[in-house]
Each structure stands twice: as structure tokens, then as C-alpha cells.
Amino acid sequence: MNVKVDQYVDLKPHNTMGISCFARYLTRVTSEQQLSEVLLWAKAENLPVCPLGEGSNVVFSGDYEGLVILVAITGCETTESNGRVLVKAGAGENWHGFVRWALDQGLYGIENLSLIPGCVGAAPIQNIGAYGVEIKDVFHSLQAMDVTTGEVISLDADACQFGYRDSVFKGELRDRYVITSVTLSLSKVFESCLGYGHLQKEVLQEAGDQPVTGQLVSDVICRIRNAKLPSPEHLGNAGSFFKNPVICDGHYKELLKTEPDIVLFPAGNGRWKLAAGWVIEHCGFKGVVRESGAGVYKHQALVLVNHGSADGQAILALAEEIQQAVRERFGVLLEREPRVY
């Protein structure tokens, strides 16, 4: 095999939660050919595999007794189709860097997803979304390699079964494929999506008498996110730790009797989306720090943080404590966003 494989590697530099644990084996691939080689090797050695981009949406609960594959396949290709521009990006491209690159090319549709941490390959797994836009809105297709056979397949949006922070890769196809590239359908014409009131206010205020541009929307969103979320370089975190729970209209009306100030948003079909950060804060967790080093960010209760010494078990224990408190007070179960290994 022409790909280097290291043994017993500390994964702390490879996960934004800053959890120190060890991978039995770790390798880095920059092409589909290299990925195919290491997958064949892992199969021969009967090892589980963990594909990893920038580790921004994972929690390692302990040492990983398998092969961690750092997917570093990069590059962008563009083709025009029916008035749209199809952009094929390697799974290892940094997501925010890709968004800014697209803006520099005069391509629009993902500017609202600026500064979301992670790589391009992880975007469809999570169906990342922010400020009224989800990856599914511009998704065209992806390529992925079968972990067992090495076969490369192509999946369109229907096959990916996108849902709220969800896809087929978190269900039926979990652990079966490694995404190698993602193709998005972007526009050469900018159309702003400013459905969130505070975003619209800040963008229009910043624009003044000038027209709103995609670059401006991206810049404002970056500023908002930087103010709300800690940088993993200074405080370990995996971004939003829980999904916003969706409840039915009857549950919503019952909650209003005891929680008249509760923050919700219409989710369609008589359902409501609860602001997870709000319910966590009102259960008294905002800013807490446990002796283990696990904590909740002081400026945003939706973000669990590592103050330097917490391991994965400590982070997950705090998450379970939060889930129990929220379930007892609000009757909803918060679902974790990060993947646990």
C-alpha cells in the first residue's frame, strides 16, 4: 500500500471539541485511489473505519479501535447546465472556504451558510442549514465510495433523503459509504434570502443606500456567528449540540399555559420548532462548568464546550443531564447533532 498509516495517534488536533483520545490507526487520503487502497487494507484487517474531515461534528467517547481516515480530497470543477452552474467540490474542501470561493466566482445560493465549520463532504450528511437555507436547496448530487467493495456511486437529492439536519447517511447508509465529492447547483444571479428578522435588519443597515450583495450577506452572517459562537481554537466545541425539537400544535398550546414566553417558530403542517438554546437556558444550564471541564457556552446555551480537560464521556454526561432536565420541564427530547464514536 502506497498510503502511510500511523498507529496510536492522538485525535485531539483532529476534532474541534478538543477531546484527547487515540486512534489505533490513522491515515490521510487525497484521492479516490488512495481511499480505495486504505479501505481494502481496513477490510483485510477487519477494522472499522471512521471518515473524518475537520472533526467539527463528532464526539469521541473514548479511543477509536479502528482506522480513522482523514479525507483530504480537494479541488473544484464547474460546468453550466440549464442556466445554472454545477460546482463539483472535493469532500476535503473547507466548507467556509468553498462558500467564499463561490462568491469570488460570482456564484450564489450558499452565502447564508457562511462560516459553518467542517468540510464539503460532511455538508450533505448533516444537511447543514442556517438563516433559512439548507444544503438540500442547492444540492445536485454526490459521489461516495462503498466501504466494503470500493464501488463509487452517485446519489441525487431524492436518494439522499434529506430532512432537518438529516440524510440517508445518518440512517440506512450510515457507515456504508465515504463521500468523495459533492456537486451543487448554484446561480449566477444573486437573490437574497433574509427571512430571519435580525439578519435582514443587520444586512439592510450595513448596506445603507447600496444594493445588497451576496458578499455583504456572507460578511454579516460571519459577524453574527463570531459573536454567538466560540472559536474551537480558543474553546473546544462542536457547534450546536442539539437539534431544535419539533412539536405538534397541541403540545405547543399546552406549553403556552406554563411557558408564555417560550420561543418557537412555525414548522408547517400544524407543527412548531422550539428554540433548543432557549429551553436549555431556561433549565439553568447556560454558562455552567462542571469539574470535568465540560460546560455550556456562556453566550449560547445550544453549544457545549470543553474547557480543556473534558473527555468524551464528560461531554456526553452533561448532554444527558441537559436532555433529562428539558424532557422533565418541557416534555420534549433533545436530539444530539454531533455524531458519537
Taking 90 as the threshold, does the pLDDT of residue 1 lie above it?
Answer: no
CATH code for the domain in which residue 244 is found: 3.90.78.10
Predicted confidence band of residue 268 (pLDDT cuts 50, 70, 90)? confident
Q: Give the end of a domain, one of 119, 152, 186.
A: 186
Number of domains comprising the chain: 3
Pairing label, strands 64-71, 49-52: parallel
For residue 193, what pLDDT band results from cuts at 50, 70 and 90?
very high
C-alpha cell of residue 300: 449560547
Burial of 208 (0-12, 13-18, 19+ CB in 10 A): exposed
CATH code: domain of residue 145: 3.30.465.10
> 94 pLDDT exceeds 80?
yes
Q: Is the same domain home to 336 and 289?
A: yes
What domain range is 28 assigned to?
5-71
Same domain, 36 and 94: no
H or E, element range at 10? strand 5-10
Q: Pick the residue with more confidence: 1 or 19?
A: 19
Question: DSSP of 147-182, one letter per residue?
Answer: TTT--EEEEEHHHHT-BTTB-GGGTTTTTTEEEEEE
The pLDDT tens digits of the residues spanning 316-331 come to: 999 999 999 999 999 9
What are the b/e assignments for 261-276, b being 16+ CB within 10 Å? ebebeebeeeebbbbb
Is residue 287 a part of any domain in this protein?
Answer: yes
Please tell me the predicted confidence (pLDDT) of residue 123. 97
Q: Give me the pLDDT at residue 147, please.
A: 96
Annotated catalytic residue, options 165, 167, 192, 202: 165
pLDDT for residue 104: 97
Same domain, 139 and 157: yes
Q: For residues 310 and 321, give the distance between their C-alpha atoms in angstroms, rounded to a whole number.
A: 15
- Computed over every residue of the chain, the mean pLDDT equals 95
* Same-domain pairing of 248 and 147: no
The enclosing domain of 66 has a CATH number of 3.30.43.10
- Identify whether 222 is part of a domain: no
* pLDDT tens-digit map of 139-177: 999 999 999 999 999 999 999 999 989 999 999 999 999
pLDDT of res. 195 = 85
Instruction: Give the pLDDT score at 198.
Output: 85
Quickly state the pLDDT bin for 129 (edges 50, 70, 90).
very high
Contact (Cβ atoms closer than 8 angstroms) between residue 153 and residue 71: no
Residue with cell 434529506: 162
Average pLDDT over residues 282-300: 97
Do 260 and 162 reside in the same domain of the chain?
no
Catalytically annotated residue among 54, 111, 202, 337: 337
DSSP 289: B
112 and 175 part of one domain = yes
Q: State the pLDDT at residue 265.
A: 87
Biggest CA–CA distance in the chain, Å, is: 65
User: What CA–CA distance (Å, rounded) separates 75 from 89?
Assistant: 6
Distance from C-alpha of 270 to C-alpha of 115, rounded to nearest angstrom: 32
Q: Is residue 201 part of a domain?
A: no
In angstroms and rounded to an integer, the radius of gyration of the C-alpha atoms of the chain is 21
pLDDT, average across residues 284-297 = 97
- Is 337 marked active-site? yes
Instruction: Clarify whether residues 241 and 271 are in a common domain.
Output: yes
Q: Which of the following is catalytic: 114, 181, 192, 240?
A: 240
Domain presence at residue 126: yes
DSSP 185-208: EEBSS------SHHHHHHHHHHHT
Does 32 participate in catalysis according to the annotation? no
Nearest to 160 by CA among 151, 149, 173, 148: 173
Q: Count of residues for the chain?
A: 341
Asked whether residue 289 is domain-assigned, the answer is yes
The answer to whether position 31 is within a domain reads: yes
Task: Look at residue 108 in the predicted model and tell me its pLDDT.
Answer: 98
Contact status, residue 220 vs residue 207, Cβ threshold 8 Å: no
> What's the average model confidence in pLDDT over 97-108?
98
pLDDT at 197 over 80: no
**Domain co-membership, 67 together with 126:** no
- Pinpoint the alpha helices (H) of 71-160: 95-104, 123-126, 157-160
Checking if the pLDDT of 227 tops 90, the result is: no
Residue 101 pLDDT more than 80? yes
Lowest mean pLDDT among 207-216, 240-249, 265-274: 265-274
Residues 80 and 181 in one domain: yes
Confidence bin at 2 (pLDDT 50/70/90): confident
194 part of a folded domain: no
Distances, alpha carbon 279 to alpha carbons 143, 179, 218, 259, in Å: 38, 35, 28, 10
Statement to judge: residues 43 and 94 lie in one domain? no
Q: How many CA atoms lie within 13 A of 149 on its CB side?
A: 6
Task: Decide which of 155, 186, 217 is a domain's last residue.
Answer: 186
Q: Report yes or no on 151 lying in a domain.
A: yes
240 is catalytic: yes
47-60 per-position pLDDT tens digit: 999 999 999 999 99
Tell whether 133 and 62 lie within a shared domain: no
For β-strands 271-274 and 246-248, DSSP reports them as antiparallel
- Whether residues 179 and 268 fall in one domain: no
Residue finishing a domain among 17, 40, 71: 71
